[in-house]
Amino acid sequence: MSAPNTSQSDLIAFLDYLADKGLMNATTASSRKGAVKTLFSVLDPTETADVTTLKIDEVAMRFANKRGADFKPDSVKVYKSRVIGAIEDFKKYRADPLNFKVSLTPKATSGKGDKASPAKEPAQDTSNPQAHQPIEPFVSPSEIVFPIPIRPNTIVRIVGLPSDLTPQEASRIANVIQALASVQDPF
């Protein structure tokens, strides 16, 4: 049985999310998506049901054996590197969404003596107050988000409710929320 929400389509949706939210350069996200689709093209759907358990070295070897004639060896190495980066970010996000930061891997070189330039430290933009807003959590396409405004400038989001929620289950959830409420001192 596969882990929930770790399929190839969930990984692709995650990369789209990173690009849409500006957490990753759109070109980088697109390159990673292309690499995922290309390398995983040699796998059957059952193998891509949980991408977090794949051995990417083996997938790259299978890809090279089946479709290597269509690609340069350096291209396969770049695809492999991009897939590894995508899956590592995917795992890190799923483990700790609130503290997630995209890992930036250095560009692969062609081996012809060119060197990757050192990474620059990103400038801190203090002029934009929106830059310090909390990151909205990634939601798998199979999950539903319910935004509930509870007071001015406060919206609670409930994620992961099944579409066939029963009244008994709703009551259990409501009881948990009720238990979290603090009573205001009237004095």
Instruction: State whether 153 and 74 are in the same domain.
Output: no
Instruction: State whether 14 and 93 are in the same domain.
Output: yes
| pTM of the full structure | 0.57
Final residue of a domain: which of 84, 105, 126? Answer: 105
The span from the first CA to the last CA of the chain, in angstroms, equals 55
Task: With respect to residue 128, please indicate whether it lies within any of the assigned structural domains.
Answer: no
Task: With respect to residue 93, please indicate whether it lies within any of the assigned structural domains.
Answer: yes
Task: With respect to residue 19, please indicate whether it lies within any of the assigned structural domains.
Answer: yes
Task: With respect to residue 61, please indicate whether it lies within any of the assigned structural domains.
Answer: yes
Instruction: State whether 150 and 98 are in the same domain.
Output: no
Note down the domain range covering 63: 8-105
Task: With respect to residue 91, please indicate whether it lies within any of the assigned structural domains.
Answer: yes
Instruction: State whether 100 and 154 are in the same domain.
Output: no
pLDDT, position 88: 94
Contact 102, 86 (CB under 8 A): no
Reading the block at residue 174, the tokens are 């409501």
Final residue of a domain: which of 105, 123, 153? Answer: 105
Instruction: State whether 47 and 95 are in the same domain.
Output: yes
Instruction: State whether 98 and 171 are in the same domain.
Output: no
Question: Tens-digit pLDDT profile for the chain (187 aa)?
Answer: 444 689 999 999 999 998 888 888 889 999 999 999 999 999 999 999 999 999 999 999 999 898 888 888 888 899 999 999 999 999 998 888 888 888 765 554 444 444 444 444 444 444 444 444 455 555 555 556 677 888 888 878 787 777 778 899 888 888 888 887 766 655 5
Q: Name, in order, each residue with C-beta under 8 angstroms of 65's C-beta and a sequence gap of 6 or more.
A: none
Residue 118: exposure state from Cβ atoms within 10 A (0-12, 13-18, ≥19): exposed
Task: With respect to residue 96, please indicate whether it lies within any of the assigned structural domains.
Answer: yes
pLDDT, position 120: 43
Contact 131, 125 (CB under 8 A): yes
Instruction: State whether 85 and 160 are in the same domain.
Output: no
Final residue of a domain: which of 73, 105, 137? Answer: 105
Contact 52, 90 (CB under 8 A): yes
The structure tokens 């350096």 sit at 74
Instruction: State whether 93 and 171 are in the same domain.
Output: no
Give the separation between CA 167 and CA 68, rounded to whole angstroms.
55
Task: With respect to residue 2, please indicate whether it lies within any of the assigned structural domains.
Answer: no
